[in-house]
Structure 1
Amino acid sequence: MLCVSCSAPATPTGPPPTIAADSTVHVAAGPQYLRGAMHRFFWGKHYRKVWAVPVEARVINLRTAIPGGFTPVREGGSFQTKNLRLVTRDDLEYVLRSVDKDATKALPAQFQKGMIANLMKDQTSVINPYGAYIVPPLAKAAGVYYTNPRLVWLPDDPALGNFRQSFANALYLLEERPDGNQRDSPNFGRSARVESSRKAFTNLIYSQRYRVDARQYLRARLFDMWLGDWSRREDQWRWASFPAAGGTVYRAIPRDRDHAFFKFDDGVLTRIISWFKTNYQSFHGKIKLQNVEGLNRAALPMDKSLLAYLTANDFQQVADSMRQQLSDGVIRQALQVWPQQVYNLVGPEFDAKLRQRREQLPAVAAKFYELLARDMELPGTDQAERFVVTAQSRWQLRVQVYAMRDSRPDSLLNQRTFDARETRSIKLFGLGGADVFDLQSVPDARIALSIYDGAGQDTIQQHATHTKASLANITVYDSGDGNTVRVMPKKIKVEAYKPRAEEFDAAGWLLRHRLF
């Protein structure tokens, strides 16, 4: 039963619009997740009590919530979350995201009913239904972009039109949709153009004019780990673009915090499952360093591409600054955003865990760097690049990537010195364009170097020899489409090969990012 009152719940501070409401309701997000002791023993306590407690939510009227109202335009969402996109009279976009989830849609049709479906639906209780609600003040303090979810109850509103049957009488998070012109949104950096991951990555690998603010992305990724948010695949991001010298720089906007504060391994059977599904990392007070790899598996293709030129010092500087910014006061204030009923259940627990995890950020950053540094992939673009490889010492290898200009000197795009004590392999991908791979000096075998020519007629040339051929560990993969290869065969292996799609050009490289 819904209880109507006139008081308004606490909501996160953020940009307009302010949602008008004549009333509020008291409603539980998911009382069906309450289970008996035996079920909880095997399948976990999770956040069942949080799902079952009634909280206060604003009743939203789509026509009067803001001046000009909201117009529903499109249904969307993933296998779990049901979304409804809304637009304002100023063409700003918002989205209603269902608080309750239904993962059974990911199952084959024959399994979407019955015991398997019921168990899968029951595991929605691993999610804190109000977890996303406390993220904005934490993200703001950490220097990470964020959306501003507001808890609303959508009644059987005639303004829903054709969406009325599917969306009426349910609890939602209403938040800005990061897309297009966001000059009035400080939480998106006031970017005049926010783009999807598909658009941003297409630009990044087709043209040298685009780049990502890697340190800002790293900050967002460490913030993910602090929250225990393991579901950070490419579609969970948008990209705020800004003019920069010679082109455009992108800064990351995380979205969809459904899997932040995940609590899975507190049942006998769910704990066993977590041994095999190592990406299902639970939100504990301690981040186990051996679990950092699993925690970041979903975002690995992005991390390898976007963080390739950051050093261990960069990782530590970002982690240290975040540790200072996420003070005890910031954490306490963020938790006060929750409805009092929710805070009473899990507020003190979250306060303690967030403070414990904050202290681990430098160690987690070091482990994250170690994992990424092990095997490096350095792509070019579909424009012409020159890759310069220089042995700095027996242990160190420097890679510099230049943009090749017809009538101007080559321009340095990226560079990094790799150490064999951290890195065991480096792969260079020319992708498109007439690229040049200059081996200024041949490194020894401590780092395996592979060169993939990709599309275009490339040049691979060796400028110096090595005193011992046995110490070289370099392989040139020649697709045989008119490349010029000038290397000493006894020192550098040349192998004919047929490039896989993701090794060939920019369009193929997007396959690594699950965007095609």
Structure 2
Amino acid sequence: MVLWCGLLCGSCSAPAAHIGPLPAIGPDSTVQVAAGPQYMRSAVHQLFWGKHYRKLWAVPVPARVFNLRTAVPGGFTPVREGGSFQTKNLRLIDRDDVEYVLRSVDKDATKALPVRFQKGLIANLMKDQTSVINPYGAYIVPPLAKAAGVYYTNPRLVWVPDDPALGEFRPSFANALYLLEERPDGDQRDSPNFGRSARVESSRKAFTNLAYSHHYRVDARQYLRARLFDMWLGDWSRREDQWRWASFPTAGGTVYRAIPRDRDHAFFKFDDGVLTRVISWIKTNYQSFHGKIRLQDVEGLNRAALPMDKSLLAYLTADDFRQVADSMRQQLSDAVIRQSLTVWPRQVYALAGEEFDTKLRQRREQLPAVAAKFYELLARDVELPGTDLAERFVLEPLNEWQVRVRVFALQAGRRDSLLNERTFDAHQTRSIKLFGLGGNDVFELHGLPAARFALGIYDGAGQDVVKAQNASDKPGFTNIVVYDSGDGNTINGSVKGLKVEPYQPRAQEFDAAGWLLRHRLF
């Protein structure tokens, strides 16, 4: 996510210890270099625009000189430039066609501005606020993620000189600091930090499969673990393009497990200036890394990932959230935290080591409370999509406060197989929306839930059937609406309390291709 574009222009949105397959960098020289000495500003400037991590940006640290020809046997070949508005990326391949990426340590968000604003006061302020990012924060993540059971990349700090081997990319990438890390994509069977998956896919590919077929699913508890880890790090920029997905074959199809990437906004420090604090009240997703995670800020901290969270965590219970949080709290021990900080260069540790040790331990103790608040937010309004294959949705009131939802795969000539189920409680949930998407779906009401729940059934594409069973004696104090697009559905409209309303489906409600719009992937 681009840090400043939403705020100002209204658009969009020492080397680390080796814990994976990243090869050792060859015996080139080292240099002492500061990541961003230009971010040291006057006391008055810092009063209004924040101290942030300016001292870390200004301190010289050792970095390995990166020679593309000698860094690994056979060398690296640069193949493609990429990156976001802030970060410059250069994709590399080794002689075995394994992919890596150089990611710029320094950032420049001014490219997100209209051309006429890319120079001048606004651009200078945007560039200055790069100092909210800890330039060495990504280095301590691998040992912490490994302890927490979360997949991770292995960034290393390197200095890229004016190397002729850069070829056409030489003018843009020479003479700068970068993070070198493996690229989570394709065959990763030699990578334990990616689960040794034989096929790692992009979010676009994974979510397309999830929306088109119920033969694909996400390991929801593993994704929840990764999301709680994000919150512990204060990493609020977790939209769909910040993830890759390790796939694993199962008896029923394929399961995906989440690979977080791009930790630029972990340990974000923003609200320590007069003006930046005011901005943080407006832009509540700009959460700073303090020793205490304020529960009232959990919603803002997770706003970027909300579409993913609502889709992927919909069937987990409060107990699931509590169990995952409790296990992480145990795994992220004081010893693990202390050891993770030792990967920092001594110059960085001297400035930030004690602060991070204290804050990480304090935030760890809050994980159960944060998980409970996270569950509460997601349980309030629930959306349960099908796929473009045929499914059967079964709603069954258990009492006046609870309703159970089960989703089955419809299989011709075979017994329907249960895909998901969850019991919802009106003390926590006020609305449930079912989206059939494509396929000829069936919606069954085994009794009519009380009006405490607002239930919406959205037919989407296909010729669907909506029917109510054992509901004729209900008094009609219900709040159920069937949204009928008029494309040949069969609806039992004679049941008292069941409302049918004609509607024109929005693209995001119609089918799998439309549903991808919710995830900004189509």
Q: If the length of structure 1 is used for normalisation, what is the TM-score? A: 0.98
Structure 2 residue 326 is matched with structure 1 residue 338: no
1:329 corresponds in structure 2 to 335
Among 47, 53, 56, the residue aligned to 1:47:
53
2:274 corresponds in structure 1 to 268
Question: Residue 439 of structure 1: SS of its match in structure 2?
Answer: strand
Separation (CA, whole Å) in 2 of partners of 1:270 and 1:472: 48
Aligned residue pair count:
509
Separation (CA, whole Å) in 2 of partners of 1:217 and 1:292: 17
Contact 2:15-2:139 at 8 Å conserved across structures: no
User: Shift of the alpha carbon at 1:68?
Assistant: 1.2
2:419 corresponds in structure 1 to 413
After superposition, the Cα gap between the structure-2 partners of 1:337 and 1:12, relative to the gap in structure 1 and judged at 3 Å, is farther
Alignment of 1:170-209 (within 5 A): 170-209=176-215
Separation (CA, whole Å) in 1 of partners of 2:321 and 2:494: 38
1:121 corresponds in structure 2 to 127
**Structure 2 residue ranges without an equivalent (≥5):** 1-13
Separation (CA, whole Å) in 2 of partners of 1:70 and 1:487: 66
Contact 1:24-1:59 at 8 Å conserved across structures: yes
Q: Which runs of 4+ in 1 moved over 4 A?
A: none
Letter of the structure 1 residue corresponding to residue 210 of structure 2: L
1:57 corresponds in structure 2 to 63
Letter of the structure 1 residue corresponding to residue 392 of structure 2: R
User: Shift of the alpha carbon at 1:488?
Assistant: 2.6
Letter of the structure 1 residue corresponding to residue 454 of structure 2: A
Separation (CA, whole Å) in 1 of partners of 2:58 and 2:253: 51
Q: Deviations over 1:297-342 (max 9, x none)?
A: 0000000000000000000000000000000000000000000000
Question: Residue 349 of structure 2: SS of its match in structure 1?
Answer: helix
1:3 corresponds in structure 2 to none
Separation (CA, whole Å) in 2 of partners of 1:413 and 1:479: 26
Deviates more, 1:14-23 or 1:248-257: 14-23
Among 137, 150, 155, the residue aligned to 2:156:
150
Separation (CA, whole Å) in 1 of partners of 2:479 and 2:248: 41
Separation (CA, whole Å) in 1 of partners of 2:386 and 2:272: 45
Structure 2 residue 88 is matched with structure 1 residue 82: yes
Q: Deviations over 1:377-420 (max 9, x none)?
A: 00000000000000010000000000001110000000000000
Structure 2 residue 246 is matched with structure 1 residue 240: yes
Q: Deviations over 1:229-258 (max 9, x none)?
A: 000000000000001121110000000000
User: Shift of the alpha carbon at 1:468?
Assistant: 4.9
Separation (CA, whole Å) in 1 of partners of 2:19 and 2:191: 12
2:222 corresponds in structure 1 to 216
Contact 1:437-1:460 at 8 Å conserved across structures: yes
**Structure 1 residue ranges without an equivalent (≥5):** 1-7
Separation (CA, whole Å) in 1 of partners of 2:514 and 2:162: 46
Question: Residue 196 of structure 2: SS of its match in structure 1?
Answer: coil
Q: If the length of structure 2 is used for normalisation, what is the TM-score? A: 0.96
Letter of the structure 1 residue corresponding to residue 275 of structure 2: L
Letter of the structure 1 residue corresponding to residue 281 of structure 2: W
Contact 1:12-1:337 at 8 Å conserved across structures: no
Letter of the structure 2 residue corresponding to residue 321 of structure 1: S
Separation (CA, whole Å) in 2 of partners of 1:457 and 1:137: 51
Separation (CA, whole Å) in 2 of partners of 1:208 and 1:63: 46
Contact 2:269-2:289 at 8 Å conserved across structures: yes
Contact 2:472-2:496 at 8 Å conserved across structures: no
1:385 corresponds in structure 2 to 391
Separation (CA, whole Å) in 1 of partners of 2:15 and 2:362: 29
1:394 corresponds in structure 2 to 400
Separation (CA, whole Å) in 2 of partners of 1:492 and 1:11: 61
Question: Residue 79 of structure 2: SS of its match in structure 1?
Answer: strand
Separation (CA, whole Å) in 1 of partners of 2:15 and 2:93: 24
Letter of the structure 2 residue corresponding to residue 424 of structure 1: R
Structure 2 residue 302 is matched with structure 1 residue 312: no
Q: Deviations over 1:339-363 (max 9, x none)?
A: 0000000110000000000000000
Question: Residue 105 of structure 1: SS of its match in structure 2?
Answer: helix
1:5 corresponds in structure 2 to none
Separation (CA, whole Å) in 1 of partners of 2:179 and 2:501: 55
Separation (CA, whole Å) in 1 of partners of 2:15 and 2:235: 26
Separation (CA, whole Å) in 1 of partners of 2:425 and 2:27: 59
Question: Residue 291 of structure 1: SS of its match in structure 2?
Answer: helix
Separation (CA, whole Å) in 1 of partners of 2:199 and 2:134: 32
Letter of the structure 2 residue corresponding to residue 193 of structure 1: R
RMSD, aligned α-carbons: 0.9
2:6 corresponds in structure 1 to none
Letter of the structure 2 residue corresponding to residue 306 of structure 1: L
User: Shift of the alpha carbon at 1:466?
Assistant: 6.0
Separation (CA, whole Å) in 2 of partners of 1:277 and 1:9: 34
2:5 corresponds in structure 1 to none
Contact 2:16-2:154 at 8 Å conserved across structures: no
